[in-house]
Amino acid sequence: MEDPSETILEVGERLMVSPTGREPYLRIAHFLKPSINSIRGPNCELPPFSPCSLPSSLKPQDWPLKVTFSCWRYRHKIWMSWVDQMASLHQSTWKKAGIFEAVMNSKYHIQKDQSLVLGITERWCSETKTFVFPWGEATVTLEDVIVLGGYSVLGDSVLSPAESEDLQEVEENLKEARRRIVATKAKKACQSVWIKTFMNSGKELEHQAFLACWLSRYVFAGVHDTITEHVFPVAIQLARGTRIALAPAVLASIYRDLSLLKEKIVVATNSKSCKDVKDGVLELTLRSPFYLVQIWVWERFIELQPKPNVLNYGDLRMARWDKVNGLKIENVRLSLELAGEGFLWQPYAMAMGGWKFPKFYSEKEIWVPVGPGLDEELLSFARCMRVSELVGFGYIEQYLPHRVAMQFGMDQDLPGFVPRLNEFPDIAWNDYCKPISDEKLYIPPRLFKAGITDRYSDWKQSMFDQQGTSKSILPEKRRLNGSKTSLQSLTKKKRAKDIVVPHIPPKGSKSLEHCSIGQLQTLSCSSGQDLEIPGLALEKRIIRLEKVIAGLKAARFGSKFSKKSKKGHSST
């Protein structure tokens, strides 16, 4: 029997609205838990340190900030050669351990777009672990780390020790090799010396040494390009084919680095604080695979997306962005603010040549029984959708997918508060890997356009109103036509404040113009009927959008642009 308090999904009839739309209609909706019923209360306040509060006077390229991305490397021919050599010998072991794609991804080179990276980090909120935009929240999730990074959400913790006697002996041999390198002129466990020592050596330790180097270079970067001892137990177990859940540790490191970088950005935009910094420049070293954040932006923001490579059959997803140059974007901040309608909530669900869908993207909605025989890919998807704690090396980060449910094809309701379980790593890990409590797992149709509840829309509007965000950026809400009494009646009987909208109303939906209030109250998705409210004419929407953009540009670039814009309109 499932425990309702521990389940992932909540299903109910709601009045929904699209994230950028204005036309509510009634249907059955699917939400990620926990959610709450009221927009009032401490759990709904906009967290402090909001991205919206940052001053806009400085552009990212002008900030007194120097950032080093330790895991963001050029792919050297020597490394690529070692990868190919090891793959020819250990490919089956890597697949068993769930690291084959992640290791092969280290051969790709992602061109760094620092302005884009800093621009997206501006929007990061450390309390919610999400990027906060005027049009909603979004974030890097475990799904992104699986698809883009090739890491597994299943397996043992990265903190699992090498317990058996033979594994401990291997670990000691790796430590001894590291000590010998430190004793040389290098005075540190230099990665280049490590590669020269073990590559093509034929030594028994070469496989474990290779994986230790891969982890130290591309996954959990060491200090000053060194081999770090704490990855040895992970490398040894992976070399034996033991699956280690690297994805939660990788995502935890990305969340940690986003928060560190956001904190530095806040200081960098404060001129008074910068006076106390040596030479007026803030320095920060990030040790996570931060290039995944940039790829996340490219995959989801159409207006910021450069032309990707064409995938050949069998290529990894990251191959789309190998050696691709980013776009030259004059104002990243403005582009992100206006990106609501061009944001792809589920980019990996879209058909693409050479791309093989994971099993959790289905053509039709399905309910899968949860049990011992549940497919690993579907179990992974369940892990992606459940709130948990992410355990890394010396840090624990909270994972809150219920705040970005539309990234999983689910509908978005008011996100509920989630208490922390991060006092001890073992408690946090047990929370992460506990069994799925749902009797069945819901897989939405891959092309379904999820929506948000009416009360969620109200909440977001109120949050940005408090922060002084321009109302013109936020989508307007269009209420149901009819008398005040009729609306009150509908709200009372159907709890209209609880309801959401896809971008495109389902086929065969019934127009509200031809429905009485009584008919409206009886229609639902269970009867195969949905409600559609006629929207504004496309021309009017385009004109309004043009005015919004013109106003924003005028505010940012001066009255000169505004006058030019008016002159252009009068001549047409």
Residue 555 located in a structural domain: yes
Residue 446's pLDDT is what? 94
Tell me phi and psi for residue 174, to 5 degrees: -65, -40
Q: What is the mean pLDDT of residues 421-442?
A: 95
Domain that holds residue 567: 540-572
Residue 176 located in a structural domain: no
What mean pLDDT value characterizes the chain?
81
CB 159 within 8 A of CB 303: no
Q: What is the mean pLDDT of residues 532-546?
A: 44
Q: What is the mean pLDDT of residues 29-55?
A: 66
Q: What is the mean pLDDT of residues 440-468?
A: 84
CB 264 within 8 A of CB 405: no
Residue 451 located in a structural domain: no
The predicted-structure confidence for 244-295, as pLDDT tens digits, reads as follows: 999 999 999 999 999 999 999 988 887 555 554 556 788 999 999 999 999 9
pLDDT at 381 over 90: yes
Residue 377's pLDDT is what? 96
Residue 476's pLDDT is what? 41
Residue 569 located in a structural domain: yes
Q: Cα separation of 456 and 499, whole Å? A: 9
Residue 547's pLDDT is what? 55
Residue 71 located in a structural domain: no
Tell me the pairing of strands 388-391 and 396-399. Answer: antiparallel
Q: Which residue in this structure is represented by tokens 């931060």?
A: 290
Q: Cα separation of 166 and 233, whole Å? A: 12
pLDDT at 564 over 70: no
Residue 311 CB partners (closer than 8 Å, separation 6+): 317, 319, 320, 352, 353, 354, 355
- The neighbouring-strand residues paired with 29 are 12
Q: What is the mean pLDDT of residues 321-341?
A: 91
Residue 538's pLDDT is what? 46
Residue 136's pLDDT is what? 87
Residue 562 located in a structural domain: yes
**HEC sequence for 97-165:** HCCHHHHHHCCCCCCCCHHHHHHHHHCEECCCCEEEECCEEECCCHHHHHHHHCCCCCCECCCCCCCCH
Residue 505's pLDDT is what? 34
Q: What is the mean pLDDT of residues 479-507?
A: 34
Residue 484 located in a structural domain: no
User: What does pTM read for this prediction?
Assistant: 0.81
pLDDT at 297 over 70: yes
pLDDT at 472 over 50: no
Give the Å distances, CA to CA, from 214 to 146, 238, 392: 18, 12, 17
Q: Cα separation of 110 and 73, whole Å? A: 8
Number of domains in the chain: 1
Q: Cα separation of 423 and 277, whole Å? A: 33
Q: Where are the alpha helices (DSSP H) in 190-270?
A: 191-198, 206-214, 232-239, 246-268
pLDDT at 530 over 50: no
Q: Confidence band (pLDDT; 50, 70, 90) for 562? A: very low
Residue 554's pLDDT is what? 58
CB 275 within 8 A of CB 413: no
Q: What is the mean pLDDT of residues 55-75?
A: 79
pLDDT at 55 over 70: no
> Six-digit token pair at 171?
């670990």
> Six-digit token pair at 268?
């960098």
Q: What is the mean pLDDT of residues 64-71?
A: 92
How many Å from the N-terminal Cα to the C-terminal Cα in the chain? Answer: 67
Residue 484's pLDDT is what? 34
Residue 198's pLDDT is what? 96
Q: Confidence band (pLDDT; 50, 70, 90) for 23? A: confident
Q: Confidence band (pLDDT; 50, 70, 90) for 458? A: confident
Residue 559 located in a structural domain: yes
Which one, of 394, 397, 42, lies nearest residue 248 by Cα? 397
- The neighbouring-strand residues paired with 502 are none
The predicted-structure confidence for 383-431, as pLDDT tens digits, reads as follows: 999 999 999 999 999 999 999 999 999 999 999 999 999 989 999 999 9
CB 219 within 8 A of CB 403: no
pLDDT at 143 over 50: yes
Residue 544's pLDDT is what? 53
Q: Confidence band (pLDDT; 50, 70, 90) for 475? A: very low
Write the DSSP symbol of residue 244: B
Residue 545's pLDDT is what? 57
Residue 194's pLDDT is what? 96
> Six-digit token pair at 475?
């989508």
Q: Cα separation of 133 and 335, whole Å? A: 11
- The neighbouring-strand residues paired with 15 are 26
pLDDT at 453 over 60: yes
Residue 516's pLDDT is what? 32
460/132: higher pLDDT: 132
Give the Å distances, CA to CA, from 468 to 53, 155, 399, 478: 9, 45, 28, 22
CB 305 within 8 A of CB 92: no
Q: Confidence band (pLDDT; 50, 70, 90) for 140? A: very high
